[in-house]
């Protein structure tokens, strides 16, 4: 399916959008506007090259249960437009978002290992080096500590770097830079410097990648004051969050998941962003609030299918914003259902779920009919063997059991 | 006015002055810009590049500026010492006295558009970049009038409008930041350079070499300056570094060893480094300098070195004394005038301290300001916020 998309892109006429400064060196992805320096606010409707498309099926407005298998997903989102859009995979959505922002603002640059000539180890930065050149898409040596530091230094002067960790786990080497310099400089300088950097990369438990390549760093970074953390889960919110993160004046860490890069979805053609602090209502319900994010969203939706058949009505919220939590959306849900189940991929100890449990208990204790149940990964290094790895993370069957227990 | 004794000087302008001073009662000393050529104390040692010449062009006004600035810095640091002992400054306080030549000489060679970033021994460099005494003392005492509104402290002085990027507490972490500044300068085609200062202790940090590698690959205008005061807190350099030739540590990157107590040598080296970095990429400068105080106020500074060593350096190599001798020998000012300048600096410092003591502490609500920058839809909400959708810029 990816091949079809690329084919359409190449075949579509490049003169769809008027571009005065069109460079013949540029790649298949045509510039949607002429490359110009960002001068104040301007909102442009963006046309994609794939508008002449095969089957224009519109979005179904209130689709309740999505197919939870990781290869295809249709996601409902009340805020998406009803215009027919274009279909793409999650990594392409990230690339689109990144490319649009780089065109829009000449200060945006990308730094990371193998992001340039190689095209990115997960193809998120494919073709960008050809289009924008070596000074804007920078291949770094394997030196996370220093290139993250360099990204932060560049951000202090006003550039907007997007630093890619090839795997989130490698960013542990840059922890000092992220914690002390990225998070705290705005405060310790009395507001003189802002750090508009985006740090992104894939994390999470993959398919038998081993312990060191299956890390979930959101739990390590969550206490750092001054940063924002978001986790994307669908092509729609991946593109939206990427764009919002780049435009934000604060340092944002965007967590992607290794197993979600090939999700396909239809997204709108026009320019849109997702609010960085907002949670997403995946499936409204009445009986229990299930809070989740990233890959676990799909496990939850799979469990939700079973639960609906059994007669339960779960409300599923993809929290998206890991720091700060969207306590407004979560609070409204808790006030409605009075039961909370948190399903996360972090480890039990000190994970996002642990903080979220504390936050909900502090703020909404009066509305809870039962103690909060938090399903997280086991507190073990992720083993290599497939059967063991499966048991390390939360599976749909466990979610079903937990809901049944909770709603007794 | 009795003239101070004259040494034979090589430049003819001094002879002219000799004549003119015999006639006039008081000549304008601080605005004279006729060039004077002075030799640095020791020649430069170079690694992978041509050392610049030992003869430095300077002028009467510049020398007097050096004297004035360095005297101010010295006074400020000594005053900070007393304030710390009076418990008005708490926490960490790292003093720069003895190393003033590095800050002053660097400023003379560059513009405010060039960036400087340093570690925690930053008060004097902040002053050199145009900071005021009030800002420093208020920040040290944690008052609102401080350069970082009292929220940073001794180790976090920043001045964005003159491109001073701080002020960093973690040893060595400022060097990758500095290379990032150089990257931004190259990206914006500014034709400016960045000076990333670090100490002999930080010279063993891995991130330094990582950043140097990337800077050399990408041809960034980064100048890494090692302020080698021979002690990393309590550890002497021969115990911490297998190779104490820090200017050679860059290997493929050229380096220059400079007498960091000679302000003119520092100025010459920085000028050379700026031209070099704009053309050829990163260069390392090693400033051979010395600090009189201990590492910080909690370190007496005498357990790992002898008092004789400290007083020896003070006698032979003190940067302010060197400039004083230079001024007197070229008859640019009299002893009394220099003493008056020092008294004036002392008064300025005392006034600033008095003013800083008056300045109020930050409000309690300031605890939560500046954690995040306000921007596109970024508001930190509690449990009961009004619904806000993000707005496009």
Q: How confident is the model at residue A238 (pLDDT cuts 50, 70, 90)?
A: very high
Q: Are residues B355 and B373 in the same domain?
A: no
Q: Which of B70, B126, B116, B127 is nearest to B97 (CA)?
A: B70
Does residue B261 lie in a domain region?
yes
Given a contact cutoff of 8 angstroms between Cβ atoms, the answer to whether B249 and B243 are in contact is yes
Q: Are residues B240 and B151 in the same domain?
A: yes
Output the pLDDT for position B30: 63
Question: Closest to A226 (Cβ–Cβ): which among B151, B371, B375?
Answer: B371
Mean pLDDT of the region A271-293: 94
Domain that holds residue B131: 35-362
What is the secondary structure of B21-46 as a DSSP string?
A: HHH-S----TT---EEEEE-SS--EE
Output the pLDDT for position A399: 96
A141·B167 Cβ contact <8 A: no
Does residue B11 lie in a domain region?
no
List Cβ neighbours of A397 (8 Å cut-off, separation of 6 or more): A303
Number of domains in chain B: 2
Given a contact cutoff of 8 angstroms between Cβ atoms, the answer to whether A181 and A194 are in contact is no
Residues in chain B: 393
Q: Are residues B131 and B199 in the same domain?
A: yes
Local structure of A342: helix, strand or coil: strand
Does residue B27 lie in a domain region?
no
Per CB-CB distance under 8 Å, the chain A contacts of B169 are 180
A141·B210 Cβ contact <8 A: yes
List Cβ neighbours of A371 (8 Å cut-off, separation of 6 or more): none
Instruction: Give the separation between CA B365 and CA A185, rounded to whole angstroms.
Output: 19
Instruction: Give the separation between CA B234 and CA B106, rounded to whole angstroms.
Output: 27
Per CB-CB distance under 8 Å, the chain B contacts of A364 are 383
CB contact B369 to A (< 8 Å): yes
Does residue B1 lie in a domain region?
no
A193·B371 Cβ contact <8 A: no
Does residue B7 lie in a domain region?
no
B149·A151 Cβ contact <8 A: no
B213·A141 Cβ contact <8 A: yes
* Ranges under pLDDT 50 in chain B: 1-10, 20-25, 375-393
Q: Are residues B314 and B388 in the same domain?
A: no
Question: Can you give the CATH number for the domain in which B141 is found?
Answer: 3.40.50.970
A369 has a pLDDT exceeding 90: yes
Return mean pLDDT, chain A. Answer: 83
Q: Supply B311's token pair.
A: 């007083």
Residues in chain A: 408
- State in Å, rounded, how far the first CA of chain A is from the last one: 44
A338 is catalytic: no
With a threshold of 0.90, tell me whether the complex ipTM lies above it.
Answer: no
CB-count exposure of residue B275 (10 Å: 0-12, 13-18, 19+): middle
Nearest CA in chain A to B362: A190
- Reported as a single tens digit per residue, the pLDDT across A85-111 is 999 999 999 999 999 999 999 999 999
Which residue bears the tokens 């497939």?
A386
Per CB-CB distance under 8 Å, the chain B contacts of A143 are 207, 210-211, 213-214
Instruction: Give the separation between CA B256 and CA B271, rounded to whole angstroms.
Output: 12
Output the pLDDT for position A83: 61
Identify which has the larger pLDDT, A16 or B18: B18
Q: Are residues B48 and B151 in the same domain?
A: yes
Per CB-CB distance under 8 Å, the chain B contacts of A151 are 180
Question: Closest to B375 (Cβ–Cβ): which among A146, A250, A324?
Answer: A250
Q: Are residues B140 and B285 in the same domain?
A: yes
A62 has a pLDDT exceeding 50: no
Q: Are residues B273 and B358 in the same domain?
A: yes
Which one of the listed residues A49, A92, A96, A144 is annotated catalytic?
Answer: A144
A144 is catalytic: yes
Q: How confident is the model at residue A84 (pLDDT cuts 50, 70, 90)?
A: confident
Nearest CA in chain B to A362: B383
Q: Which of A183, A158, A192, A189 is nearest to A251 (CA)?
A: A183
Nearest CA in chain B to A271: B392
- What's the pTM? 0.81
Question: Closest to B170 (Cβ–Cβ): which among A176, A271, A276?
Answer: A176
- Reported as a single tens digit per residue, the pLDDT across A203-228 is 999 999 989 999 999 999 999 988 99
Q: Are residues B346 and B369 in the same domain?
A: no
Maximal CA-CA distance, chain B: 82
Q: How confident is the model at residue A24 (pLDDT cuts 50, 70, 90)?
A: very low
Q: Are residues B285 and B386 in the same domain?
A: no
Question: Closest to B373 (Cβ–Cβ): which among A149, A151, A194?
Answer: A194
Q: Please tell me the distance in Å from B235's CA to the nearest CA on chain A.
A: 24
CB contact B169 to A (< 8 Å): yes
CB contact B179 to A (< 8 Å): yes
Output the pLDDT for position B372: 84
A45 has a pLDDT exceeding 70: no
Q: Please tell me the distance in Å from B365's CA to the nearest CA on chain A.
A: 13
Alpha helices in A66-174 (DSSP H): 90-104, 128-132, 144-157
Given a contact cutoff of 8 angstroms between Cβ atoms, the answer to whether A270 and A389 are in contact is no
List Cβ neighbours of A181 (8 Å cut-off, separation of 6 or more): A149, A152, A195, B168, B173, B177
Interface test with A, best of B115, B152, B153, B177 (most A CBs within 10 A): B177
Instruction: Give the separation between CA B57 and CA B108, rounded to whole angstroms.
Output: 12
Question: Closest to B180 (Cβ–Cβ): which among A41, A153, A271?
Answer: A153
Q: Identify the structural domains of chain A with CATH numbers, from first to last.
A: 85-268 (3.40.50.970), 280-407 (3.40.50.920)
Does residue B50 lie in a domain region?
yes
Interface test with A, best of B142, B148, B176 (most A CBs within 10 A): B176
Nearest CA in chain B to A323: B380
Q: Are residues B368 and B286 in the same domain?
A: no
Give exposure, A143-154, as e/b (b: 16+ Cβ within 10 Å): bbbbbbbbbbbb
Residues 117-146 of B with CB under 8 A from A: 117, 146
Does residue B16 lie in a domain region?
no
Q: Are residues B378 and B260 in the same domain?
A: no
A59 has a pLDDT exceeding 50: no
Q: Which of B49, B182, B75, B43 is nearest to A146 (CA)?
A: B182
Which residue bears the tokens 């839809």?
B377
Output the pLDDT for position B29: 61
Alpha helices in chain B (DSSP H): 12-23, 60-85, 100-109, 123-128, 133-140, 174-187, 206-218, 237-240, 263-280, 307-317, 319-329, 335-358
Q: Please tell me the distance in Å from A373's CA to the nearest CA on chain B.
A: 20
Q: Are residues B370 and B353 in the same domain?
A: no
Per CB-CB distance under 8 Å, the chain B contacts of A159 are 183-184, 187-188
Q: Supply B190's token pair.
A: 């500014």
Given a contact cutoff of 8 angstroms between Cβ atoms, the answer to whether A202 and B199 are in contact is no
């Amino acid at each position: 399916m990816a091949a079809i998309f690329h084919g359409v892109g190449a075949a579509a006429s490049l003169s769809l959008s008027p571009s005065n400064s069109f460079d013949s060196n540029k790649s298949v992805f045509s510039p949607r506007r002429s490359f110009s320096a960002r001068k104040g606010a301007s909102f442009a409707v963006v046309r994609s090259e794939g508008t002449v498309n095969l089957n224009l099926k519109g979005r179904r407005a209130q689709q309740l249960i999505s197919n939870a298998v990781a290869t295809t997903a249709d996601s409902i989102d009340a805020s998406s437009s009803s215009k027919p859009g274009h279909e793409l995979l999650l990594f392409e959505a990230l690339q689109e978002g990144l490319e649009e922002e780089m065109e829009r603002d000449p200060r945006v640059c990308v730094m990371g290992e193998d992001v340039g000539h190689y095209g990115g180890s997960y193809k998120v930065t494919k073709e960008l080096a050809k289009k924008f050149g070596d000074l804007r898409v920078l291949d770094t040596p394997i030196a996370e500590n220093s290139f993250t530091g360099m990204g932060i230094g560049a951000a202090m002067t006003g550039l907007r770097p997007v630093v890619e960790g090839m795997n989130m786990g490698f960013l542990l080497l840059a922890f000092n830079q992220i914690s002390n310099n990225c998070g705290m400089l705005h405060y310790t300088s009395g507001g003189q410097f802002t750090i508009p950097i985006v740090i992104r990369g894939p994390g999470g438990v993959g398919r038998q990648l081993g312990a060191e390549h299956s890390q979930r760093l959101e739990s390590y970074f969550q206490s750092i004051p001054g940063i924002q953390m978001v986790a994307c889960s669908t092509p729609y919110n991946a593109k939206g969050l990427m764009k919002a993160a780049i435009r934000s004046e604060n340092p944002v860490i965007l967590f992607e998941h290794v197993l979600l890069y090939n999700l396909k979805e239809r997204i709108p053609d026009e320019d849109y962003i997702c609010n960085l602090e907002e949670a997403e209502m995946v499936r409204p319900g009445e009986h229990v609030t299930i809070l989740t994010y990233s890959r676990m969203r799909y496990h939850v939706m799979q469990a939700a299918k079973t639960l609906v058949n059994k007669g339960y009505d779960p409300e599923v919220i993809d929290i998206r914003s890991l720091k700060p939590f969207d306590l407004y959306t979560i609070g409204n849900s808790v006030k409605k259902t009075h039961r909370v189940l948190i399903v996360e991929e972090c480890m039990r100890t000190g994970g996002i779920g642990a903080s979220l449990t504390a936050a909900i208990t502090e703020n909404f204790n009066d509305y809870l009919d039962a103690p909060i149940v938090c399903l997280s990964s086991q507190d073990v290094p992720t083993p290599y063997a497939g059967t063991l790895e499966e048991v390390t993370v939360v599976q749909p069957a466990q979610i079903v059991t937990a809901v049944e227990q909770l709603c007794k | 006015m009795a003239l101070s004794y004259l040494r034979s000087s090589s430049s003819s302008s001094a002879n002219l002055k000799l004549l003119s001073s015999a006639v006039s009662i008081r000549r304008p000393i601080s605005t004279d810009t006729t060039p004077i050529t002075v030799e640095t104390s020791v020649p430069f040692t170079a690694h992978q590049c041509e050392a610049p010449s030992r003869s430095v062009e300077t002028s009467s006004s510049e020398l007097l500026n050096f004297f004035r600035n360095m005297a101010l810095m010295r006074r400020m640091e000594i005053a900070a010492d007393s304030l710390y002992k009076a418990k008005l400054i708490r926490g960490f306080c790292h003093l720069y006295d003895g190393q003033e030549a590095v800050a002053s000489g660097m400023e003379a060679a560059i513009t405010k558009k060039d960036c400087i970033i340093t570690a925690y021994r930053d008060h004097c460099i902040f002053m050199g970049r145009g900071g005021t005494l009030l800002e420093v003392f208020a920040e040290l005492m944690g008052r609102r009038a401080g350069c970082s509104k009292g929220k940073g402290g001794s180790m976090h002085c920043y001045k964005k409008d003159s491109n001073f990027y701080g002020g960093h507490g973690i040893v060595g972490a400022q060097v990758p930041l500095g290379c990032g500044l150089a990257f931004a300068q190259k990206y914006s085609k500014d034709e400016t350079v960045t000076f990333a200062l670090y100490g002999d202790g930080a010279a063993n940090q891995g991130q330094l070499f990582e950043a140097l590698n990337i800077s050399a690959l990408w041809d960034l205008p980064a100048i890494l300056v090692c302020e080698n005061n021979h002690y990393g807190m309590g550890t002497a350099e021969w115990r911490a570094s297998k190779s104490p030739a820090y200017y050679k540590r860059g290997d493929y990157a050229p380096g220059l060893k400079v007498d960091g107590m000679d302000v003119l040598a520092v100025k010459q080296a920085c000028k050379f480094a700026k031209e070099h970095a704009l053309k050829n990429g990163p260069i390392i400068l090693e400033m051979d300098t010395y600090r009189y105080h201990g590492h910080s106020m909690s370190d007496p500074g005498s357990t790992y070195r002898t008092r004789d060593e400290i007083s020896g350096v003070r006698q032979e190599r003190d940067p302010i004394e060197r400039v004083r001798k230079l001024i007197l020998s070229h008859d640019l000012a009299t002893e009394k005038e220099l003493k008056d300048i020092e008294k004036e600096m002392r008064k300025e410092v005392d006034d600033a301290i008095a003013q800083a003591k008056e300045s109020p502490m930050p409000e309690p609500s300031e605890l939560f300001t500046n954690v995040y920058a306000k921007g596109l839809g970024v508001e930190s909400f509690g449990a009961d916020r009004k619904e806000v959708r993000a707005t496009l810029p």
